C-alpha cells in the first residue's frame, strides 16, 4: 500500500523563473488542496500549490447544471474538476504535456469522475472530434512571451502568444451557439496583443473582470468572458 502524500501548503510568488525552478526541484508527487479538492500533482506539471489563476476564474464563473466543459491546457485538471463539482455534467480536458494529461487522469479517478470526464493529449484542439461541442471552454493561458524549453515551461511561456492565438482563433468551432469561453490572463503578458487576437477572432467580449494583486509586487489578473459573434 502506497503511503499517503503530504499535503503541500499553497503560496504565491511573483517570480516565474523561481516558480519554475521550484517545480523542477519537485522530484516526487505531492498533494495540494484547492476549493475542497485534494489534487495529486506529478513532477513536471504546473501545480496550484504555486499558481492561483484558477482561484480567480472559479470566483467569477457561472457553471450551468448539466454543462459540457472543455478544459484547455488542463495541467492538474483543477479547473475542469472544479466545474464538475459546480454542476457541470461532462468534461474533456486537453494538454500538450503528457505528464499533465496523466495527472488529470489520476485526479479524475481519485475524485470519482471517471464516468463524466476524460483527459487527452492534444496540441490546443487537435484531439477533438468534429462533432464535439461544449457549453464552456476554460483556458488559463500562459502569460509570458518567452520561448518554452520543455513541456513544463509551456504552462508559463507562450512565444509570440501563439497558443493564445490558436485557442482564440479556433474556439468558435467547438462552442455551442450560446457557449462561453473563459480566458484567464495577466498584465505580465501583452494584453494589447490578446485584445487584438480577440478582435480578429469570431468571438466578442461579453464581460471582463480585473483582480488586483493580493501580495506586494503581484500581477493583475484579467478574466475575459467571450461568446461567439
Q: Are 156 and 19 in contact (CB under 8 A)?
A: yes
Given this model, what pLDDT does residue 149 score?
Answer: 96
Low-confidence ranges of the chain (pLDDT < 70): 1-6, 10
Kind and range of the H or E run holding 163: helix 162-170
Distances (CA, A) of 37 to 59, 77, 110, 139: 15, 11, 10, 19
- Average model confidence (pLDDT) across the chain: 93
First and final C-alpha spacing in the chain: 53
Q: Are 19 and 48 in contact (CB under 8 A)?
A: no
Given this model, what pLDDT does residue 162 score?
Answer: 97
Given this model, what pLDDT does residue 6 score?
Answer: 64
Helices (DSSP H) in 8-61: which residue ranges?
16-25, 53-60
Given this model, what pLDDT does residue 5 score?
Answer: 59
Distances (CA, A) of 133 to 179, 198, 199, 213: 9, 20, 22, 35
Per residue, the 3-state secondary structure of 48-113, as one string, reads CCCCCHHHHHHHHCCCCCCCEEEEECCCCCHHHHHHHHCCCCEEEEEECCHHHHHHHHHHHHHCCC
Alpha-carbon span 163 to 181, nearest angstrom: 15
Given this model, what pLDDT does residue 53 score?
Answer: 84
Number of Cβ within 10 Å of residue 81's Cβ equals 29
Given this model, what pLDDT does residue 184 score?
Answer: 95
Q: What value does the CA radius of gyration of the chain take, rounded to a whole number of Å?
A: 16
Give this prediction's pTM: 0.93
Quick: pLDDT tens for 70-108. Answer: 999 999 999 999 999 999 999 999 999 999 999 999 999
C-alpha torsion 146→149→150→152, nearest 10: -50
Amino acid at each position: 500500500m502506497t503511503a499517503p502524500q503530504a499535503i503541500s501548503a499553497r503560496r504565491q510568488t511573483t517570480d516565474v523563473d523561481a516558480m519554475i525552478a521550484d517545480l523542477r526541484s519537485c522530484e516526487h508527487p505531492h498533494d495540494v488542496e484547492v476549493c475542497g479538492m485534494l489534487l495529486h500533482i506529478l513532477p513536471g506539471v504546473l501545480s496550484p500549490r504555486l499558481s492561483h489563476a484558477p482561484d480567480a476564474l472559479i470566483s467569477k464563473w457561472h457553471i450551468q447544471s448539466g454543462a459540457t466543459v472543455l478544459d484547455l491546457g488542463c495541467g492538474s485538471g483543477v479547473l475542469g474538476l472544479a466545474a464538475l463539482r459546480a454542476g457541470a455534467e461532462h468534461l474533456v480536458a486537453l494538454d500538450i504535456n503528457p505528464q499533465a494529461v496523466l495527472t488529470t487522469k489520476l485526479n479524475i479517478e481519485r475524485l470519482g469522475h471517471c464516468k463524466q470526464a476524460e483527459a487527452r493529449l492534444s496540441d490546443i484542439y487537435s484531439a477533438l472530434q468534429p462533432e464535439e461541442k461544449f457549453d464552456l471552454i476554460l483556458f488559463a493561458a500562459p502569460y509570458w512571451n518567452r520561448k518554452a524549453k520543455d513541456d513544463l515551461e509551456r504552462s508559463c511561456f507562450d512565444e509570440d502568444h501563439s497558443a493564445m492565438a490558436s485557442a482564440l482563433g479556433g474556439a468558435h468551432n467547438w462552442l455551442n451557439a450560446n457557449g462561453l469561453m473563459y480566458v484567464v490572463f495577466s498584465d505580465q503578458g501583452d494584453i494589447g496583443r490578446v485584445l487584438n487576437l480577440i478582435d480578429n477572432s469570431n468571438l466578442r467580449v461579453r464581460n471582463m473582470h480585473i483582480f488586483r494583486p493580493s501580495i506586494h509586487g503581484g500581477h493583475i489578473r484579467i478574466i475575459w468572458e467571450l461568446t461567439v459573434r
